Structure 1
Amino acid sequence: MIEDLEMRELFRIESGEHLQLLEEGLLHLEKTPQTVAIIEELFREAHSLKGASRMLALEDIETVAHRFEDLLGEAKSGRRKLTQQAINVMYRCVDSMARLAEEAVSGEKSGVEVGEILAALELQETQEDAEKAREEGDSEESAEEPEGEEDPSSCGADVEPAPAAGAIAAVSPCLHLPASARLDSFSIDTIRVETRKLDQLMTLAGELTVAKHRVARRCTDMDGLADAWERIATTLCLKARRDTELEQWTSEFSTLLDQVKRSTSDDNSRLETVSGAIEEAILEVRLLPLSTIFNSLPRMVRDLSLEQGKTVQTIVEGGETCADKRVLEELKSPLIHIVRNAVDHGFELPAERAEFGKPRNGTISIRAYRTAENIVVEVQDDGRGLDLEAVRRAARKSGRREEELADMTDDQLRGLIFASGFSTSPFISDLSGRGVGLDVVHTNVERLKGTVTVESTPGNGCTLKIALPLTLATGRVLIVAARGVSYALPVEYVRKSYQLDLGSIFSIDGRDAVHSEGQTVAVARLSDLLSFARTDFLHEAPLPEEEGAGEAKSPCLIINSGGGRRFALLVDELLDEQEIVLKPQSSLLKHIPGISGATILGSGDVCMILNPPELGAALRQDGLAQTAVAEHERKKTVLVAEDSLTTRTQMKRILEGFGYEVTTAVDGLDALAKLGSGSFDALVSDITMPNMDGLALTQKVRQNRKYGELPIILVTMLSKDEDKRRGMEAGANAYITKPAFDQKLLFETMRRLI
């Protein structure tokens, strides 16, 4: 039985949740045995239960959970088929862990013998191996006994007749326990308020906050109405000075309006006070100190380090920091995995540390603190640090392409350790090597709308930082506008905002970029990243480049998208900063990249909440196809042959406005010379020019096989059908007449031909 009363209660709650999820997963797995996602989810739950059991020295649960992981690992790798009988065994493992968990909580003997469980599992494996060997036997042996008449319990002469579906219970009566028996064994000795119910209360409090903002707006409207009436009443009285009845009416109405105004203001103040008190009270009920989970970590570190022949001391700071109960519950499992990973992978053996000039005793520091928006937990060790070469090797082993790895920054490489199945350990042990631990960390933190980052210096240790929101019901957002639509951007992702001079945008590797705080970051419009290309049903705000040259600025946000990455986001307008209620993501928005949910603003308008990490990923993957086309076009170089200086200059400006790089030539001969000395993606030429006209230039170009596919566009004053025919015969791809010249037509022609 767990001696610590607080830890006993926490383990009762946590083990119940893990076991319930294991049962639900097995139900799904029974229907679709080869579903990798379900197997991985079961893997994570079993791994977390094993870690919690290990921390509390519950060796029996740890052993069964570890064997349960083995079964799933063999199924995932294809070494074992998840037959109905194998799933039955897994059910019985879960039942046994449930009885053992009840024993740890209540102190009543469970009657579970772990040795018998392992023996039953080995018997199951022996039966499956024998069955596999029988299926692979020669045809003569299989022909001696007609198909379908073999005793299903037979597994070879040297093996005892194996039980089928329910016979394993005969080997160990405690393996299979009905769910009703497990429920009966749990007594209700405390009253527990579910987090879900507190979430509902918090959501209602958030709705009250929205209502408060709307009432505040109505108060402002009332002030404006009162001012307007005062002006109207004054004007009426001046025009009808002798009309005492009108003066009386206006005076009475003014008095009534003033009373309503004061009452509304008083009601608004009262509503603001009450809603704030309710929200604080609910938050207070949900808050628990982080020492609740910190207190058991030093013992776990001690036991793990002794097992591996290491000496590691633990320093805990900030245990008095309080966090939302759900945040605390979800943080426990990631924290255990991080600490276990640090002890196993991070610290060298004492002799090795002495060789490097380090103290023989390692130190792991666990620190918590609270910011204005987040609860932050840092786990820092002074071990060997993260070996990026080992990460690269493991990434190659897991199927990552060499080109992809070569383009990754150090921060991106470090981020790979959170991928499912990723491990740098060369072997699998009961402590590590399965590639599950840090995947659990990433999954849990992401589910909480938090972030996890890793910093490491080779030879000097590693720091993992988890940042979680204070509450999961409300959040602070920046309201921005793009193409006439308002969006909510969580403020914790915004590094800074400023007015960007669009002339400072430059191109690098075919992408737009800007300088920010000494770094080069990619830049994109929010409307482009969200793929909302059609906006003809909206009132579009004018784009900055459509305005005058002196107004070529745009609001710009520097966004932290996770993993040490940043990007710049251009929006049309910065509208407001608000506290909002975070609504669950609806099925309509689930498959829209860059959107994490929706909310209702104080004005009553529905507003979509942006997901900055997904926006950053879309930008790295070239986002919208239209954006990719634009980037592709910006890299193209066009040669313009025109003898008129005015027309040449105007054509150059137009094409540069489309995003092309433009080189000009004064006639056909000049163009032919420049074409041979450079690389161009298209040729735009007039026909009537001195020295060599456009038709002769086109013919000369087409005679060179090197330019056989070069698009040639003739732009000329000659508009007769005969002139067009001659242009086509010379080898031009398009013919545009200047009398009917249209910039849009030129742009569409260029885009189609290149």
Structure 2
Amino acid sequence: MELSKEELKEMMAIFKVESEEHLKDLNKGLLKLEETPGSRELLDELFRTAHSIKGAARMMGFSKIETIAHKIEDGFGLLRKGSISLTPEDFDVVYEGVDIISQIIERISTEGTDQDIDVAAISEKLEKMVQSKETVVGKVAEGKDESKKVKTTEEAEPAAITTIDDELKNQEISKPMPQPVAESTYQETSQEKTETGSRGTVAEDAIIRVSTKRLDDLMNQVSELITTRIKSQQRLIDIKKIVELCDEWTQQAERLKSFREKVFNRVAAIESSGNNGSFNAAGKSALSAMDLKTFISFYDAAVDKTTKLLDLLNNLYDKHNEDNMRTSVITGDIQDNLRIIRLMPISTIFDLYPRMVRDIAKGQNKKVKFEIYGADTRVDKKILEELKDPLIHLLRNSIDHGVETPIERVEVGKNPEGTISIRAGYIGNMVQIEVSDDGRGIDTDRIAQMAVKKGYIKAEQIEDVSKSDLISLIFHSGFSTAKIITDLSGRGVGLDVVKANIERIKGTIETDSEKGKGSKFILKIPLTLATTHVLIVDVGTDYYSLPIDYVERTVRLTEEEIVSTGQNPFIMVDEKPVPVYKLEEVLGNPRQRLKNKGLLKAAAAVKTGQHLTKIETNKFPAVVLSSLGRRVAFLVDKLLDEQEVVVKNLGNQLKRVKNVAGSTVLGDGRISLILNPNDLIKSVQGSGTKFVFRERRTRDLVKKRVLVVDDSITTRTLEKNILESAGYHVTTATNGLEGYQKLSEGGFDIVVSDVEMPMMTGFEFAEKVRKESKFQEIPFILCTSLESEKDKRKGIEVGANAYIVKGSFDQSNLLETIEKLL
């Protein structure tokens, strides 16, 4: 029966999830196999996993995946026979096969076809590997046969022959194939034991697959429910206010009862004295006892009705409060359960890194032991998605900049194998992730040299800069201490992106490093982004929300507590000075005036450094925010309330707004902006250092002249077109000798050269250029197809500033590298 489009789409989704799990298992298993080559149990597991991928691909009709998986399966099948193992080259081939299967699956799921992916080369590599193993196995088998010849065979029983397929079938009968794990949840299931003769096994808890999109939609609906609950709480407060007003009125009415009796008795006495119907001084008829009695009757009736109304309101308040509390509990339970479902083990992304670390370290001829701790720590799915790339950057940084080569490590008395670890755990309502290495540490002297060279600070000021401030420079865009720019690092792009991404999810990043002993990057992120606890403050006519995690304390200041010494005014907190600013001015809203007149005068004093007179003294509310060891106090009009709120983003058009992290709807329907404490502190303190950063302007690059040297006319033309489109003046040469002659004529700002050229190679060209004192400072880029670490080291030795591999050539990399070097 032919499947419909919807059924095919559903089957593809299931196949993708299952295959990704299997590929993850293959990568993990291969890494373990490199450490323990002879593990039969591990080989059995890898064999079954490859077989599962092959079978699923065959059912779906994906012949390319089936072919690759089948050859990998054959390889593991031979390894299970013993006496042989995979060489490092064999592992590379299998890893390549796994990567291509992953590429095919991704291409089919996004574009519906894999026609443009050629698997002939990898199939040939895998086939050669299998054939070489078959040859070895055959020779081993022959040797065993010769050694086991028997004298007679008359009584010998025929040996049972079990093929690989038979063995696989037996294993599959005894052990179910692994099922794909639901993308949205992590559950452990147990299978009940059944007695003999029972119909079968019934699972206590069934597991169903739910798309993460549906969970996201459900979470958004729960968020709306929470917003409605907050509004309901506000209505409850309104009812309470009405009850209090009615109660005050009835109390006043009670106090009037005694006065009412006195007036009535006096009027009755006047009437009994014969003055009934008399006129007062104004000539008007006086109030009679009958009129007063009628008024009192109406008054008593009004009081009685008000009392009944008050009883009804009190009852309504109690019932509404009871319902609201029940709704809050249920809503909270739903929210907590959904949040738990959305929480995924951080191993979801941690498991991707061992293979990456292995490949990068191998490419750099470094030995790295990779350790993972706290992989079962659970984090919201959205946060996991945002964490993946920053952690990749940090790990690449640890391998490239941190861990030394085996020779370098031995020279300083270290184990030739470096260690990189990543660990996760909970700290309060935050998750802390640490990426550490035992490498060379951060070279603050090198950072200081680069800071002076780039003009961030004067040489004579560098002694006054703290170690932490110097280290903070590695997070500045475009800053790098790499001796040479490569495709992996040195472009100054990476750690600045890490910091921006972490701050976008309301997190922080700190660095701890000791030269010669290693470095540690510490990330602190919230468990979830759906809700947060905030302190609501009133500034003028608007309410703003400040995340509680960053609020160190709230204070009410007197005039004497605001100290001005000619610089920024400050207050003393824990015997340490904390600068103080007006929040309204930091937010750039000068028309919005604080309502507290005393506060206005205090704020003016803060701004001008003037002192207040005693008559103007008042208690002025302020919030002390703290982030990464930096504290700032902000003056506000009122401190209103602390509550949990639903975080709303500002839409695609306003993804990044200075000082703003999001928005929320308060109980009274007001929109409150959730402020970004990190941005607020930066706004008033800048970088917090003595460094001065200047943005590079495009027009500064327009007049720069580039010399492009390459013997390939195609490459020369391509690079020339790219650079001229970016506004550079370009001159070309066909080899190193011609390039040197043109460079000697003068006028060039940078050189881009190939390596393998006739007459004079790029290495020889660069070395000759560096020997000339007049060319010592001219930036030199090698752009070549040679990608080995040996060639890159050669590039460093001859004095190149950057090394770009053509195999991974990207025109943006070339332009970024040139811009950085200029």
Task: Give the TM-score range, shorter chain.
Answer: 0.5 to 0.7
Q: What is the distance in 2 between the residues matched to 1:425 and 1:440? A: 17
Query: 1:341 Cα deviation (Å)?
Result: 1.3
Residue 319 of structure 2 corresponds to: 263
**Matching residue of 2:139:** none
Paired residue type of 2:240: T
User: Structure 1 residue 316 and structure 2 residue 372: aligned?
Assistant: yes
Picking from 195, 203, 207, the partner of 2:227 is: 207
Task: Give a deviation string over 1:211-248, Cα, whole Å, max 9, x none.
Answer: 24324423533552563365367568876999697787
| C-alpha spacing 1:313/1:337, structure 2 compared with 1 (3 Å) | same
Q: 1:399 to 1:537 in 2, by over 3 A?
A: closer
**Partner secondary structure for residue 293 of structure 1:** helix
- Counterpart of 2:681 in structure 1 is 616
Alignment of 1:577 onto 2:642 = yes
- Of 513, 520, 532, which aligns to 1:475? 532
Q: Does 1:427 align with 2:484?
A: yes
Q: Which runs of 5+ in 2 are unaligned?
A: 1-15, 27-90, 123-207, 262-292, 603-610, 689-822
Equivalent position of 1:192 in the other structure:
211
Distance of 2:547 and 2:376 partners within structure 1 = 27
Return the alpha-carbon distance in structure 2 between the equivalents of residues 402 and 522 of structure 1: 26
- Code of the residue aligned with 1:390 in structure 2: it is R
Question: Structure 1 residues 538, 514: CA separation in 2 closer, same or farther (over 3 Å shift)?
Answer: closer
Structure 1 residues 405 and 551 mapped into 2: Cα distance closer, same or farther (>3 Å)? same
* Distance (Å, rounded) in 2 between the aligned partners of 1:264 and 1:2: 47
Distance 1:384 1:505, change over 3 A: farther
Tell me which of 424, 433, 453 is aligned to 1:377: 433
Query: What do the CA deviations read for 1:635-666 (whole angstroms, capped 9, x no partner)?
Result: xxxxxxxxxxxxxxxxxxxxxxxxxxxxxxxx
Structure 1 Cα separation of the partners of residues 538 and 460 of structure 2: 35
In structure 2, how many angstroms separate the alpha carbons of the residues matched to 1:55 and 1:394?
Answer: 38
Rounded to whole Å, the distance in 2 between the matches of 1:580 and 1:404 is 50
Residue 288 of structure 1, CA deviation: 0.7
Equivalent residue of 1:427, what SS? coil
1:607 counterpart residue number: 672
Describe the SS at the equivalent of 1:533. coil
Could you tell me how far apart the structure 2 residues matched to 1:5 and 1:237 are? 82
- 2:624 corresponds in structure 1 to 558
Q: Does 1:346 align with 2:351?
A: no
Determine whether 1:6 maps to 2:21: yes
**Distance in 2, Cα, partners of 1:277 & 1:2:** 29
Larger radius of gyration: 2
Check whether the contact 2:540–2:593 (CA below 8 A) recurs between aligned residues.
no
Quick one: structure 1 residues 586 and 431, their matched pair in 2 at CA, closer, same or farther if it must change by over 3 Å? closer
* TM-superposed deviation, 1:325: 0.6
Aligned to 2:567: 510
- Give deviations 1:438-492, integer Å, cap 9, x for gaps: 2442232233232222222222321112222222232221223345643221222
Tell me which amino acid in the other structure corresponds to 1:582.
Answer: V
**Shift of the alpha carbon at 1:328?**
0.9
2:553 is the counterpart of 1:496: yes
Query: Residue in 1 aligned with 2:586?
Result: 529
The superposition leaves residues 671-707 of structure 1 with CA deviations (integer Å, 9 ceiling, x where unpaired) of xxxxxxxxxxxxxxxxxxxxxxxxxxxxxxxxxxxxx
Q: 1:496 to 1:480 in 2, by over 3 A?
A: same
CA drift at 1:290? 1.0
Residues 1:408 and 1:608: Cα distance change in structure 2 (over 3 Å): farther
Matches within 5 A, 1:286-305: 286-305=342-361
1:450 aligned partner: 507
Q: TM-score, normalised by structure 1?
A: 0.54
Shift in alpha-carbon separation, 1:325–1:597, aligned structure 2, 3 A:
closer
The answer to whether structure 1 residue 112 and structure 2 residue 131 are counterparts is no
Moved more, 384-393 or 592-601: 592-601
Structure 1 unaligned spans of 5+: 12-53, 64-95, 118-188, 624-754
Amino acid at match of 1:523: V
1:568 aligns with 2:588: no
Q: Deviations over 1:604-646 (max 9, x none)?
A: 33333322223223223599xxxxxxxxxxxxxxxxxxxxxxx
Distance 2:94 2:667 in 1: 52
Question: Structure 1: how far apart are the matches of 2:624 and 2:97?
Answer: 51
Q: CA deviation at 1:383?
A: 2.0
In the alignment, the residues of structure 1 paired with residue 306 and residue 619 of structure 2 have an alpha-carbon distance, to the nearest angstrom, of 50
**CA distance in structure 2 between the aligned counterparts of 1:498 and 1:245, rounded to whole angstroms:** 50
Is 1:314–1:363's contact at 8 Å kept on the other side of the alignment?
yes
Aligned to 1:168: none
Q: Deviations over 1:276-331 (max 9, x none)?
A: 12322331221111122223434443444344343333332222221111111111
Aligned partners of 2:535 and 2:547 also within 8 Å: yes
1:411 lines up with 2:426 in the alignment: no
Distance change (3 Å), C-alpha of 1:506 and 1:335:
same
Give the aligned partner of residue 37 of structure 1.
none
Segment drifting more, 507-516 vs 588-597 = 588-597
**In 1: Cα distance, 2:592 partner to 2:504 partner:** 33
Write the mapping of 1:642-721 to structure 2, written as runs, cut at 5 A: none
2:329 aligns with: 273
The yes-or-no answer on 1:335 pairing with 2:340 is no
Aligned residue pairs: how many?
477
Please tell me whether the aligned partners of residues 396 and 402 of structure 1 are also in contact (alpha carbons under 8 angstroms).
Answer: yes
Q: How does 1:48-67 map to 2 (within 5 A)?
A: 59=96
Q: Whole-Å Cα distance in 1 between the matches of residues 93 and 496 of structure 2?
A: 22
Residues of 1 paired with 2:363 and 2:223: CA distance? 47
Superposition RMSD in Å: 4.6
Q: Does the 8 Å CA contact 1:233/1:250 hold for their aligned counterparts?
A: no
1:588 and 1:312 mapped to 2: Cα distance?
Answer: 43
- In 2, are the aligned partners of 1:201 and 1:282 still within 8 Å (CA)? no
Deviation readout 1:589-618 (Å, 9 max, x if unpaired): 889753444333223333333222232232
Counterpart of 1:532 in 2: which secondary structure? coil
Q: Match of 1:559, as an amino acid?
A: L
| CA separation of 1:60 and 1:267: change in aligned 2, threshold 3 A | same
- Label 1:330 to 1:599 Cα distance change in 2 as closer, same or farther (>3 A): same
Shift of 1:354: 4.4
Residue 358 to residue 305, structure 1, CA distance change in 2 (3 Å) = same
Relative to structure 1, is the Cα distance of residues 589 and 291 closer, same or farther in structure 2, using a 3 angstrom cutoff? closer
Q: Distance in 1 between matches of 2:17 and 2:325?
A: 50
Distance 2:571 2:233 in 1: 37
Amino acid at match of 1:424: T
Question: So what's the TM-score if we normalise by structure 2?
Answer: 0.50
| Paired residues of 1:99 and 1:110 also in contact (CA < 8 A) | no
Cα deviation code 1:25-60 (max 9, x no counterpart)? xxxxxxxxxxxxxxxxxxxxxxxxxxxxx9998659
Q: How big is each residue's C-alpha offset from its partner over 1:509-536, in whole Å with a ceiling of 9 and x where there is no partner?
A: 7333445456544332223323333346
CA contact (8 A) 2:236 2:320 kept: no
* 1:298–1:314 contact (8 Å) kept in structure 2: yes
1:386 to 420, 428, 442: 442
Q: Aligned AA for 2:526?
A: P
- Residues 243-276 of structure 1: per-residue CA shift (max 9 Å, x gap): 6977875665454334323322222122212221
Partner of 2:202: none
Kindly indicate whether the alpha-carbon contact (under 8 Å) linking 1:499 and 1:555 is maintained by their aligned counterparts in 2: yes
Instruction: Flag the 1:504–1:245 CA change in 2: closer, same or farther, 3 A.
Output: closer
